[in-house]
Amino acid sequence: MPPAMAWRLDIAVQTPAHAALGDLLSYASPAPLVPGTLVRVPLGRREVLGVVWNEPSPLDDAEPDMALKPVGAALDALAPLGDAWRDLVAFAARYYQRSIGEIALAALPPQLRDLSGTQLARRLKRKTTTGPVAETAEAAHPVALSAEQTAALARIEAEAGTFLLVGSTGSGKTEVYLRCVADLLAGDAGAQALVMVPEINLTPQLEARFKARFGDDAVVSLHSGMTNPQRLASWLAAHSGAARIVLGTRMAVFASMPGLKLVVVDEEHDPSYKQQEGARYSARDLAVWRGQREGAKVILGSATPSLESWHQSRPAEGEDPGGRYVRLAMPSRIGAGELPTVRLVDMNLQPPKTVLSGALLDAIGQRIARGEQSMVFLNRRGYAPVLACADCGWKSECPHCSAYRVFHKIDRTLRCHHCGFTERVPRACPSCGNPDIAPVGRGTERLEEHLAELFAAVTRPDGSAVRIARIDADSTKKQGALESQLAAVHSGEVDVLVGTQMIAKGHDFRRITLVAAVNPDGALFSSDFRAPERLFSLLMQSAGRAGRDAAYLAAQGATAEMWIQTHHAQHPLFSALRKHDYTAFARQQLEERAAAGMPPFAFQALLRADARTQEAAQAFLNAASTAADALAGAERVVRYPAVPLAIQRVANVERAQMLIESPSRAALQRLLAQWQPLLHALRRTPEGKGVIRWLVDVDPHSI
């Protein structure tokens, strides 16, 4: 070891999954580098990007371990990542049971890993410096606020902490966000705001509104739909403070923002905020933690908040001290707009195999005749969920998954939505040769075709043919497809819009006066206790697309309606939905969960194992449960027997899971932390043979 190498640095690097190498690796450096500095370091045969994590310590010549590898180049053109950012990463790694390096490196733009110090310095020269936000024409003539918006803004201004803004669809939550950001930036020249949305397709819409208000230079986006150079440019602008406002999806919660003073999480209930691959973090929960750590205000907004957030915002009552969040209510729509009337169609009273009831078709026809738009929501893409042979019972099962391949008529394929395996539709039954194989069930493609047939003879007010459009993951694959389809809806070219949940939330369609949900019953009796909550949110959000423009409704002489076709019209979920009564629904759900000891009254984690056989996966999980018996505090944590996942085989990999539950979050976290080394060791025993991977999912969203 040369004498110049005088410092030991603890560095976070992205170590291989389940390598059990520990959180930080030590390297030798000739100079003490500041924590947060990005460096290149050798790892195996590669050179990788790392983050200096702790204060450097001098290397003692007498230390027996002098074989530390030397640090490579430091990317010192970039300002070090701050203490608050490193605290956020460390908390996320600890809470979600992952390594610090995995979280830290995943949070950085991928292109940073490939740039040299010189290339990075050139990139940084292109960035503008931070300055006052220019007032745009829209900012100079802001819209008038309602009394509810004014009251919410006053409380956000006067109080600190986390706010739950419960605003019905169309109540003007976005305007509240815009005003909060404007007040912040006007009062503090170095302040930054983070605004999060659940899905990429909502980002351009919100980005346009923020740029119209604050100008192009003040706003950057961060989401996975961007190219690597775009992500790097946005990240550098946020890190330097040049970008005053960062808009993004869940990944944006890890953006390096030294001046962060405000975090907005729009549609905070949305399951998309929970990462489902790798480190399974909840961006909403991390946003709240980050706000507390950095002294930033946090606004969680939704018409149908998650039951966890609703419970955390409960007012104090008797001996209950109440929740940690401040609840703000905006129940009224802007202007004279009213929430749509909810109509239930009891499908038990309809002829067998009815897809759309006569009354619903008549209502859509009336809308078309008046030049209004309707939206038909079905949360299942493709033409039909399965192709089947009536003679021998063959069905279009996926050979690699325990699921059916979906029939897509447009390109005549059978496609597995789990592993992606795709084949052309066979000319005859592969089992018995019967040429008469038929689709069973309905997806958005088939519904679109069905509606086109039903309204083929109907004309629009100008005499032209009715136009049916479909928006789902299949119709929006090509770049720019979603934007052009949404533009067609906004311009009035589309009469009936068919789609999945992609169209159910966030969009501000001004001419839609009728929304219909075709087949929502599946979630009512799901084994997942969160399914009713998700269904209620989705239907409320869908209803919120109707009648958003009160002036348009008045001019048309129309009323906004939400039609729901169901076989369970008496279900309490629909009773609450008819009254737009989220409070009643939440009360009933929370009472059930309290009685059953489920979140938010208990805390959960899943231990998952993927293996070549189901027996191997379950044997690993059951052995892990037995090993946990010896851990301190194990008696405070319930471990249920291992079971297969609902879709137990995907891409020829068998999947099993074990639910772990405790009334104490601290007890659950202590057990999980102690369990990690046992799980790593178990992989190397006979019980671990055949196991491909295992993972811990803390606060799982679906079980």
Q: Cα(30)–Cα(538) distance, rounded to whole angstroms?
A: 57
The dihedrals phi and psi of 551, each to the nearest 5 degrees, come to -65, -40
Tell me: pLDDT of 17 over 70. Answer: no
Q: Could you report the per-residue pLDDT of 342-362, keeping only the tens digit for each?
A: 999 999 999 988 999 999 999
Give the per-residue pLDDT at 622: 95
Classify residue 74 as left (phi > 0), alpha (psi -120 to 50) or beta: beta
CA-to-CA distance for 419 and 79, rounded, in angstroms? 42
Q: Give 437-491 pLDDT, tens digit per residue.
A: 999 988 999 999 999 999 999 999 998 999 999 998 888 888 788 888 988 998 9
Position 336 scores a pLDDT of 65
Q: Which of 130-134, 291-295, 298-302, 353-357 has the lowest mean pLDDT?
A: 130-134
Q: Is the pLDDT of residue 533 over 70?
A: yes
Q: Which domains are seen in the chain, by residue range?
A: 7-126 (3.40.1440.60), 137-330 (3.40.50.300), 341-381+443-595 (3.40.50.300), 386-441 (no CATH), 603-698 (3.30.70)
Between CA 334 and CA 348 the distance in angstroms is 37
Looking at per-residue confidence, does 22 or 55 come out higher? 55
Contacts of 122 (CB under 8 A, 6+ apart): none
Average model confidence (pLDDT) for the chain?
90
3-class secondary structure, 243: coil
214-218, 478-482, 586-590, 642-646: lowest mean pLDDT where? 478-482
CA-nearest of 66, 24, 18 to 43 is 24
The H or E element spanning position 240 is helix 228-240
Nearest Cα to Cα of residue 471 among 512, 495, 452, 499: 499
Annotated binding site for Zn(2+): 389, 392, 398, 401, 416, 419, 429, 432
List Cβ neighbours of 559 (8 Å cut-off, separation of 6 or more): 340, 341, 513, 547, 553
pLDDT grade, residue 140 (50/70/90)?
A: low
Indicate the range of 56-60, 128-132, 656-660 predicted with least confidence: 128-132
Written as six digits, the tokens of 629 are 């018996």
Q: What is the mean pLDDT of residues 380-385?
A: 88
pLDDT of residue 150: 96
Residue 16's pLDDT band (cuts 50, 70, 90): low
Question: Looking at residue 67, what is its pLDDT?
Answer: 79
Percentage with pLDDT > 70 across the chain? 95
Spatial CB neighbours of 502, under 8 Å, sequence gap ≥ 6:
199, 201, 471, 472, 473, 476
Inform me whether the pLDDT recorded for 626 exceeds 90: yes
- 19-28, 122-131, 514-523, 647-656 — which is least confidently predicted? 122-131
The residues that bridge with 282 in the sheet, in sequence order, are 274
Question: Does position 141 have pLDDT exceeding 80, yes or no?
Answer: no
Q: Is the pLDDT of residue 41 over 60?
A: yes
Residues within the annotated binding site?
A: 389, 392, 398, 401, 416, 419, 429, 432
Q: What is the pLDDT of residues 96-130, one digit of tens each?
A: 999 999 999 999 999 998 887 788 888 877 654 45
Residues linked to residue 3 through DSSP beta bridges, in sequence order: none
Confidence of residue 210 (pLDDT cuts 50, 70, 90): very high
d(CA 239, CA 344): 51
Q: Which pLDDT value is given to residue 131?
A: 52
Closest alpha carbon to 44 in 1, 5, 73, 15:
15
- Residue 246 has a pLDDT of 97
Percent of the chain with pLDDT over 90: 69
Alpha helices in 38-196 (DSSP H): 83-95, 100-107, 117-126, 137-140, 147-158, 173-187
Q: What is the mean pLDDT of residues 531-537?
A: 93
Rounded distance, CA 357 to CA 52, Å? Answer: 64
State how far the Cα of 578 lies from the Cα of 563, in Å rounded to an integer.
Answer: 10
Indicate if the pLDDT at residue 403 is higher than 70: yes
Which helix or strand (DSSP H or E) is residue 534 part of? helix 531-543
* Contacts with 175 (C-beta within 8 Å, 6 or more apart), sequence order: 143, 145, 149
What CA–CA distance (Å, rounded) separates 292 from 16? 32
Contact 443, 378 (CB under 8 A): yes
Mean pLDDT, range 150-174, rounded to an integer: 93
Q: Which of 21-25, 146-150, 256-260, 574-578 has the lowest mean pLDDT?
A: 21-25
Q: At residue 133, does pLDDT exceed 70?
A: no
Residue 243 has pLDDT above 60, yes or no: yes
pLDDT attached to residue 292: 97
User: pLDDT tens digits, residue range 492-516?
Assistant: 999 999 998 888 776 778 899 999 9
Task: Determine if the peptide bond prior to 399 is cis (ω within 30°).
Answer: no
| Better-predicted residue by pLDDT, 602 or 480 | 602
413 or 139, higher pLDDT: 413
Helix (H, G, I), strand (E, B) or coil at 561: strand
Average pLDDT rounded to a whole number, residues 233-250: 95
The mean pLDDT of 607-636, rounded to a whole number, is: 94
615 or 171, which is more confident?
615
Does pLDDT of 163 surpass 70?
yes
Check residue 129 and give its pLDDT: 45
Residues 545-568 have pLDDT tens digits of: 888 877 888 888 888 999 999 999
1 has pLDDT over 50: no
Q: Are 440 and 387 in contact (CB under 8 A)?
A: yes
Residues 102, 421, 472, 476: what is their CA dihedral angle, to the nearest 10 degrees?
A: 80
